[in-house]
Amino acid sequence: MTADYTGVSICAAGPVALQAAKMLQEELRLRTGVLPTLVDMPKPPCIRLICDAEISDKDIFRINTSDRCVTVAGQGIRALIYGYSRFLRKAELDGEKINLTEPIDGEYRPAHSIRGHQLGCRDCSNTYDAWTVGQYTRYFLDLMAFGCNMIELIPSLGKGGKNALMPLDPDDLCVQVCAEADKLDLDVSLWIPNDTYSVEESAEIRRRFFEKCPRLNVVFPPGGDPGDLPAEEFMTRVKAISRALKQTKPDAEMWPSAQAPHSVQDWGDAFIREMQARPTEVAGVITGPNRAFPLDVLRRKLPAEYPIRLYPDITHNVRCEYPVHALHDDWHFALASTLSRECINPRPQEYRLIHRLTRGYVVGSVSYSEGVNDDVNKMVWSDMDYDPDCSLTDTLLDYARFFIPQAPAEKIADGILALEKNWIGDPAENPHIESTFALFDALAREKPVLPDNWRFCQLLFRAACDAYVRRRRVFDLRLVRTAREAIGADEPGRAREALLTPYPQDVTDLRALLDELAGRLFRLIGQQLDCARFGANHWERGATLETIDLPVTDREYYLNRLEYADSLPPERRKPFFAGLLNRCATPEGGYYFSVALHGLEALGERQTPDYYMDFQGDRPDVNNGSIPISQLKLFDHFSFRCKLGGFTAGDYKLRVSYSSRKTPDVSAHSVTVNGRVIYCGGQYGGEKDARFDLDYLAPGTESATYILPASCFENGCADLVIEEPTVGVMLSEFWIFPA
């Protein structure tokens, strides 16, 4: 079913509806090049906007279509924006032609009362710091098209923090942006960490800022991340700030977060005790990264009258709350190393799953975001907050029609899903990556105007990144195989020559394309994809070009070890090379495991929840040839567990590579097999092998070797547990080999 709305006019009655009509005029002009006329009497094809005071909630809207006349009714400006955006989401535009693709009649009611995103102007953002007030307003309308009703800002409270990209002081920008949000009836939340001033000073500093804000609905002080206050002091400050808030904004609410400081033990239990006193200054509680409790546990412990707002991290990929493939944490190290923590990262299917796992406990969410690298994720998440059972396919088709009308919606939607599938498995074994790049590259060639659309440009950039990583890895793996053969033949010179082979043209052309697209994204939206040219705060802050060339195989590590071998006495070189080639091997009947190479699922037992993967691969000062790829993932948790079999050769040895970071007072680091204690004591115990560590381990790591007597195995089976109850264990790999 399609309905032709080409040449549509707009009818509005009253000042609020007229305000919405003028915004709709501009939306259509941007997409068709034609400014629709405003008329007093509706005549098909037309869109009529009506304010209806009898609609009970300002987030509800109604649409009725009859005889090519669309009537949108809502309580006020917010609902009218939702309503006309629904029309635009379902309309295909081809030049001046406008076709409505499907029926949109009905009443629309949100499932969650809070649906928002954090858009903080601070110097560590990868985009927002470069924005004008007008760009913020444009993005507010984009978010509202997918049901957003709250934005969260980050004032500096007079502490400065203005970088060269910022057009305004962060506090001035925040105040002006609050005014723009108010015009759209968009709720405003402020994320404000604690400071070191006295309770009274802190409250007064905030009160003065609150007074300046034209609109303010919620204040969010995080308990941790950042923050190191004991829960009792944190809540004392929360209550004082809440009282100061009410002095200037009587209807605004205080929502502290149950994010726990790493430095304060038992913070979560103390926070719950404070909340069980039912402080009237608190309206609800937020939970997010570095949470004190899993979401279900927090809901069980927190008094029922306090709702929970989720603070989901939809912007990061590693070292975060929801790493890529969060339930398995198996994102391939080659992609994780080069694309890093904050790259352009559409993950619609995964975030749909996470939304389903969390939505029953909360009244809504305001996401954690550092820029537009997560733009697709924002729209997907907001759409699910409004309608949890919405079709993901429909959301992505709407995204394409609304934001990239120059391209076929089906191809854009398929391309977004394809980008998520690019991240499955080893990129060298995923030819799908090339077809994804081909899809976006072909669209760019067919329609040269598309790369001037920043959202399309982002998708093309990510597709090119994935293809660049894949081609590098495929090429490097061949070089490493050649080098290993040469080392085995005692020809280190030939090995070095092979490893220094330059990349072919198809790889270097892709690298040049990345530079071109990065420059375009900076001009279009202020996205900062490297530090020197575009002013990114740090390699970890969305600066993909700072990490895209990092090692994706052991190519650089072998070059490093060849140089190291030159420093050895002649009699040491041959055994060193033999050990290098067999570094990840064990004699027959042995077993080798690497978190990076094999993934946690290969352990045969699910790790206990909330483990942390301290990924090393995207750190330019670490992944520089000094670390083998087998050590790029550092598992960090209180326990590490696996189930293994096949150990029938008598006594064995277990060698584990650990982080060299130690805590002096640890006394219960333990290794057990089938419940039998092999070692218990300080970190890490066991036998030391300084030569092995120097020759084959990355700096900052060390090995410990334990005897596993034959009697600890059960018909060759071993349930291995390595644990420590206070600071946990950090390990990257282990070997089990006959003693």
State yes or no: pLDDT of 262 exceeds 90. no
- Summarize the confidence of residues 243-266 as an average pLDDT: 96
State yes or no: pLDDT of 634 exceeds 70. yes
CB-based contact 89:359 (threshold 8 Å): no
Scored b (16 or more CB within 10 A) or e, 492-504 reads beebbebbeeeee
Per the prediction, the chain carries an average pLDDT of 97
CB-based contact 717:645 (threshold 8 Å): yes
**Which three-class secondary structure state does DSSP give residue 220?**
strand
Tokens of 36: 């629709």
Nearest to 259 by CA among 206, 312, 188, 195: 312
CB-based contact 33:96 (threshold 8 Å): yes
CA–CA separation, 151 and 430 (whole Å): 38
State yes or no: pLDDT of 209 exceeds 70. yes
Structural domains in the chain plus CATH codes: 3-108 (3.30.379.10), 114-406 (3.20.20.80), 416-562 (no CATH), 586-738 (2.60.120.260)
State yes or no: pLDDT of 235 exceeds 80. yes
CA–CA separation, 52 and 47 (whole Å): 16
Q: Judging by beta carbons within 10 Å of its beta carbon (0-12, 13-18, 19+), is residue 363 exposed, middle or buried?
A: middle
Q: pLDDT tens for residues 688-729?
A: 999 999 999 999 999 999 999 999 999 999 999 999 999 999
Using alpha carbons only, how large is the chain's radius of gyration in Å?
Answer: 29
- Summarize the confidence of residues 484-504 as an average pLDDT: 98
Residues sharing a CB contact under 8 Å with residue 250, sequence separation 6 or more, in sequence order: none
State yes or no: pLDDT of 367 exceeds 80. yes
Phi/psi for 420 (5° steps) reads: -65, -40
Write out the DSSP string of 543-554: -GGGTTTS-SSS
Percent of the chain clearing pLDDT 90 (strictly above): 96
Q: pLDDT tens for residues 146-189?
A: 999 999 999 999 888 899 999 999 999 999 999 999 999 999 99
In this predicted structure, what is the pLDDT of residue 283?
98
Give the torsion through C-alpha atoms of 508, 511, 513, 517, to 10 deg: -170
CB-based contact 246:282 (threshold 8 Å): no
State yes or no: pLDDT of 1 exceeds 70. no
Q: Which of 103-107, 121-125, 279-283 has the lowest mean pLDDT?
A: 121-125
**Which three-class secondary structure state does DSSP give residue 312?**
coil
What type of residue sits at position 329? D
Residues sharing a CB contact under 8 Å with residue 489, sequence separation 6 or more, in sequence order: none
In this predicted structure, what is the pLDDT of residue 160?
83
Percent of the chain clearing pLDDT 70 (strictly above): 100
In this predicted structure, what is the pLDDT of residue 2?
80
CB-based contact 678:654 (threshold 8 Å): yes
Question: What is each CA distance from 527 to 142, 173, 343, 519, 733, in whole angstroms?
Answer: 17, 18, 11, 9, 37
> Using CA of residue 395, residue 324, residue 311, residue 133, what is the dihedral sign?
negative
CA–CA separation, 367 and 314 (whole Å): 7
State yes or no: pLDDT of 655 exceeds 80. yes
In this predicted structure, what is the pLDDT of residue 609?
86
Write out the DSSP string of 470-500: HHHHHHHHHHHHHHHHHHHTT-HHHHHHHHT
Q: pLDDT tens for residues 539-589?
A: 999 999 999 999 999 999 999 999 999 999 999 999 999 999 999 999 988
Q: What angle do CA 14, 18, 19 make, to 5 degrees?
A: 120
Q: pLDDT tens for residues 421-469?
A: 999 999 999 999 999 999 999 999 999 999 999 999 999 999 999 999 9
Nearest to 8 by CA among 26, 31, 25, 30: 25
- Summarize the confidence of residues 284-313 as an average pLDDT: 97
